[in-house]
């Protein structure tokens, strides 16, 4: 529909408002004006970014607030910045916005890409404290931005080029820290586009808000791809060490001439092996047991403090420190019991060696998220797979929130959703015969799809077992996803796959892998997606603890701890097909459980599902209509 005064008033950036998008804009505008929260399931194509940023910015300009648009995907950072620039241009507004990706990816120091987030954080902190980072020291002059930084900021703001690429380019040319430049810009920014960590990691949040002079109570928080938040936050609050980490920590202590520390760590490593003696696979471990074992050898707090001190020196030379990892783990280990699980596990390493791992695993993201949500001006949580919204409301700790589920704006006749109620990937049914049957069904279905097809499996092992049979049944070009791909390799893989759109190639991937989320294959690049089985978590102790925890808290342990998260992972992979209003494709769920009532209830209400064994004719008829 044409842009009316109603939508101009909320700074909508485009000339036309899409069907259904108008309802989303009105609802977002309402919750922001009334300072409420919103949890919204909004499928691909609704234009969530524009629908949220316009109303949020309008209110921010009116009431001196700041919009934090949180997303983990760099492509979404770019889209959000483009949307902001369109608003600025269309309505002749003068305000600052800044793109703030993860600190590690803004760092100009060499060889930091392999550091884990905590390792990088400690390395960066030490480099700054000891004035060893020239990029950082060059940005400051007696606590204020240096002259060169002021000039760079002025140039970036004047050109409205405060996106990540421009900040890095200018900073690199002037040999100054891009992260510091971005933070200085953020002080005056009305919109900040950032990673989840900037508000959901308590230490980073406190530091950032203090640095940029913002208050949480004056922040409109828009969380994109909100289905990722529970796992991301749980990972942030979790810690683990292994006997491999311990060995590296012992070596660090010896190289640092801390024989006393090395001896204590060797004793601790032996204690871990003793604790694990009767463990076949994994077992829960009491908090006090590890504390008592260490306290018999030395003072617990002094050990942590000593390791942290030595780790700081190690990082000056090699950027990362296993001593620091062990110290952080032991510091976390004495934390809360409620909402956490302490698990010891035994596994086999790449060289066939036995590895013992101890985890302090967060089960409840609301322990972190609820205070942020309660403290913010208002929160909008949105995603194309945020179903059921009631689950996210409960597990993230919203006190109150409006909940909404919108239909896809794309023509329903362009999408064929099929459940084939045959075969199963349940552990007890797995066999060579079952793999062969799955491969045969895949071959028959794919032969009816005139173009590229992506097939997603619950795991790499299961995919490889089925691929052995499938490769003998199909002559189409095959693209088999590797577990670890660099960004460059990922793009090259996709480009090669897309080049077969007229021939019809097959991508064999994994739900949650490189291509199960966050990629777009619009138009003729993808005509079909097949989800093989249900990507349920391995029934390990963490899953058991999660089910038990959510049973006690909400009486919904099976749903919240096991079924719903798995179903949403399947829907994410299914969403790789149909990315625009002109796309046409088929989505197939291959597993008898998808037809069972307890599982089929998890499909979004707006989806029209056809459960049939006559899938070949259905697919054939569907594509003949085009």
Structure confidence by residue, pLDDT tens digits, 149-162:
999 999 999 999 99
3-state SS of 206-260 is HHHHHHHCCCHHHEEEEECCHHHHHHHHHHHCCEEEEHHHHHHHHHHHHHCCCHH
Q: 588 or 125: whose pLDDT is higher?
A: 588
- What is the C-alpha separation between 372 and 357, in angstroms, rounded? 31
What is residue 75's predicted lDDT score, i.e. its pLDDT?
Answer: 80
Kindly report, residue by residue over 48-68, the tens digit of the pLDDT. Answer: 999 999 999 999 999 999 999
Kindly report, residue by residue over 470-480, the tens digit of the pLDDT. Answer: 999 998 999 99
Kindly report, residue by residue over 91-115, the tens digit of the pLDDT. Answer: 999 999 999 998 999 999 998 888 8
> pLDDT tier at 178 (50, 70, 90 boundaries)?
very high
| Closest among 592, 554, 593 to 388, alpha carbons compared | 554
What is residue 413's predicted lDDT score, i.e. its pLDDT?
Answer: 84
> pLDDT tier at 220 (50, 70, 90 boundaries)?
very high
What six digits make up the tokens of 186?
């953020």
Looking at 480-579, list the stretches that DSSP marks H as alpha helix, in order from N- to C-terminal side.
Answer: 487-498, 541-554, 557-558, 564-574
Work out the mean pLDDT of the chain and round it to a whole number: 92
Nearest 5°: CA angle at 72, between 17 and 573? 75
Residue whose entry in the numeric block shows the structure tokens 């569907």:
622
Task: Check pLDDT > 80 for residue 222.
Answer: yes
Provide long-range contacts, Cβ within 8 A and 24+ apart, for 551-554: 553/364, 554/394, 554/395
Strand bridging mode 402-405 / 239-242? unpaired
* Strand, helix or coil for residue 283: strand
Task: Check pLDDT > 90 for residue 553.
Answer: yes
Q: Give the residue-averaged pLDDT of 330-343.
A: 96
* Beta partners for residue 559, in sequence order: none
Angle at which helix 322-333 crosses helix 117-129, to 10 degrees, equals 110
What is residue 626's predicted lDDT score, i.e. its pLDDT?
Answer: 61
| Closest among 514, 409, 574, 530 to 44, alpha carbons compared | 409
What six digits make up the tokens of 5?
């005064």
Q: How is 14-57 classified by DSSP, letter by letter?
A: SSBPPTTHHHHHHHHHHHHHTT--EEEE--TTS-HHHHHHHHHH
Residue whose entry in the numeric block shows the structure tokens 């971005």:
182
* Beta partners for residue 345, in sequence order: 282, 357
Q: Give the residue-averaged pLDDT of 163-174.
A: 95
- What is the C-alpha separation between 229 and 392, in angstroms, rounded? 9
What is residue 73's predicted lDDT score, i.e. its pLDDT?
Answer: 81
> pLDDT tier at 583 (50, 70, 90 boundaries)?
confident
The 10 Å CB-count burial string (b at 16+, else e) for 282-309 is beebeeeebeebbeeebebeebbebbbe
- What is the C-alpha separation between 568 and 232, in angstroms, rounded? 15
**Residue 460: partners with Cβ closer than 8 Å, 6 or more residues away:** 483, 510, 513
Please report, for residues 26, 76, 195, 196, 372, the alpha-carbon distance to residue 71 in angstroms, rounded to integers and kept in the order given: 22, 7, 5, 6, 16
What is residue 607's predicted lDDT score, i.e. its pLDDT?
Answer: 86
Q: 457 or 578: whose pLDDT is higher?
A: 457
Q: Give the residue-averaged pLDDT of 122-133.
A: 90
What is residue 350's predicted lDDT score, i.e. its pLDDT?
Answer: 78
Kindly report, residue by residue over 347-368, the tens digit of the pLDDT. Answer: 988 788 899 999 999 999 999 9
Sheet-wide strand order for 282-284:
239-242, 354-362, 340-348, 282-284
Q: Lowest mean pLDDT: which of 150-154, 179-183, 423-427, 433-437?
A: 423-427
- What is the C-alpha separation between 435 and 421, in angstroms, rounded? 15
- What is the C-alpha separation between 326 and 321, in angstroms, rounded? 9
- What is the C-alpha separation between 361 and 239, in angstroms, rounded? 6
**543 in Cβ contact with 560 (< 8 Å):** no
Q: Lowest mean pLDDT: which of 30-39, 288-297, 452-461, 520-529?
A: 520-529
% pLDDT > 70, the chain: 99
What is residue 518's predicted lDDT score, i.e. its pLDDT?
Answer: 64
> pLDDT tier at 69 (50, 70, 90 boundaries)?
very high
* Strand, helix or coil for residue 121: helix
Q: Estimate to the nearest angstrom the gap between the alpha carbon of 389 and the chain centroid.
A: 18
What is residue 411's predicted lDDT score, i.e. its pLDDT?
Answer: 81
Q: 172 or 520: whose pLDDT is higher?
A: 172
What is residue 522's predicted lDDT score, i.e. its pLDDT?
Answer: 64
What is residue 211's predicted lDDT score, i.e. its pLDDT?
Answer: 94
What six digits make up the tokens of 72?
């983990």
What six digits make up the tokens of 239?
């810690």
**486 in Cβ contact with 513 (< 8 Å):** no
In the chain, count of helices (H) and strands (E)? 27, 20
- What is the C-alpha separation between 625 and 618, in angstroms, rounded? 11
- What is the C-alpha separation between 86 and 12, in angstroms, rounded? 9
What six digits make up the tokens of 291?
């504390």
> pLDDT tier at 581 (50, 70, 90 boundaries)?
confident
Kindly report whether the peptide bond that precedes residue 388 is cis, defined as omega within 30 degrees of 0: yes
Q: How is 351-400 classified by DSSP, letter by letter?
A: TS-EEEEEEEEE--THHHHHHHHHHSSEEEEEETT--SHHHHHHHTT-SS
Q: Say which DSSP state 345 is in.
A: E
| Closest among 566, 560, 619 to 593, alpha carbons compared | 566
Q: Give the residue-averaged pLDDT of 80-88.
A: 95
CB burial class (10 A; 0-12, 13-18, 19+) of residue 338?
Answer: exposed
């Amino acid at each position: 529909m044409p842009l009316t005064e109603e939508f101009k008033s909320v700074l909508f950036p485009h000339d036309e408002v899409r069907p259904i998008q108008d309802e989303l804009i009105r609802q977002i505008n309402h919750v922001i004006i009334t300072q409420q929260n919103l949890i919204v399931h909004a499928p691909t194509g609704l234009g969530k970014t524009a629908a949220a940023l316009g109303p949020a910015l309008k209110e921010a300009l009116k009431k001196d607030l700041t919009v934090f648009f949180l997303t983990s995907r760099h492509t979404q950072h770019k889209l959000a910045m483009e949307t902001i620039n369109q608003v600025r241009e269309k309505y002749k507004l003068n305000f600052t916005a800044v793109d703030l990706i993860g600190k590690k990816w803004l760092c100009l120091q060499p060889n930091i890409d392999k550091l884990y987030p905590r390792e990088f954080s400690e390395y960066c902190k030490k480099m700054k404290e000891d004035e060893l980072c020239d990029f950082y020291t060059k940005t400051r002059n007696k606590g204020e931005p240096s002259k060169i930084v002021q000039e760079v900021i002025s140039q970036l703001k004047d050109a409205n080029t405060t996106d990540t690429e421009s900040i890095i380019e200018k900073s690199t040319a002037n040999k100054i820290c891009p992260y510091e430049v971005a933070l200085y810009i953020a002080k005056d920014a009305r919109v900040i586009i950032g990673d989840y960590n900037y508000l959901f990691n308590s230490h980073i949040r406190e530091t950032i808000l203090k640095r940029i002079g913002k208050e949480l109570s004056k922040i409109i928080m828009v969380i994109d791809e909100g289905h990722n938040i529970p796992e991301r936050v749980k990972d942030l609050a979790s810690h683990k060490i292994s006997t491999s980490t311990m060995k590296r920590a012992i070596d660090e202590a010896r190289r640092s001439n801390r024989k006393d520390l090395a001896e204590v760590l060797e004793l601790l490593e032996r204690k871990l092996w003793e604790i694990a003696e009767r463990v076949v696979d994994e077992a829960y471990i009491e908090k006090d047991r590890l504390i008592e074992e260490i306290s018999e050898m030395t003072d617990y707090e002094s050990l942590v403090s000593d390791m942290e001190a030595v780790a700081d020196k190690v990082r000056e030379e090699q950027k990362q420190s296993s001593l620091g990892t062990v110290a952080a783990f032991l510091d976390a280990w004495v934390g809360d019991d409620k909402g956490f699980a302490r698990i010891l596990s035994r596994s086999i390493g790449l060289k066939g060696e036995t590895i013992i791992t101890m985890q302090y695993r967060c089960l409840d993201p609301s322990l972190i998220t609820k205070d942020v949500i309660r403290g913010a001006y208002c929160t909008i949580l949105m995603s194309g797979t945020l179903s059921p919204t009631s689950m996210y409301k409960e597990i993230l700790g919203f006190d109150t929130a409006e909940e909404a589920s919108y239909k896809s704006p794309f023509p329903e006749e362009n999408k064929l959703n099929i459940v084939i109620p045959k075969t199963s990937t349940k552990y007890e049914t797995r066999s060579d015969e079952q793999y062969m049957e799955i491969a045969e069904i895949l071959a028959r279905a794919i032969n009816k799809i005139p173009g590229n097809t992506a097939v997603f499996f619950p795991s790499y092992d299961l995919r490889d077992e089925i691929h052995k049979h499938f490769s003998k049944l199909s002559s189409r070009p095959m693209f088999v996803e590797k577990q670890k791909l660099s960004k460059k390799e990922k793009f090259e893989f996709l480009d090669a796959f897309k080049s077969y759109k007229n021939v019809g190639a097959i991508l064999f991937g994994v739900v949650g892998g490189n291509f199960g989320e966050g990629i777009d294959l619009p138009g003729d690049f993808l005509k079909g997606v097949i989800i093989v089985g249900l990507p349920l978590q391995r029934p390990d102790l963490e899953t058991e603890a999660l089910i038990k925890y959510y049973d006690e808290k909400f009486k919904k342990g099976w749903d919240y701890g096991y079924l719903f998260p798995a179903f949403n992972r399947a829907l994410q992979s299914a969403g790789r097909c149909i990315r625009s209003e002109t796309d046409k494709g088929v989505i197939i769920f291959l597993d008898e459980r998808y037809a069972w009532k307890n599982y089929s209830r998890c499909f979004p209400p707006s989806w029209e599902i056809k459960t049939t064994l006559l899938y070949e004719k259905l697919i054939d008829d569907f594509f003949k209509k085009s």
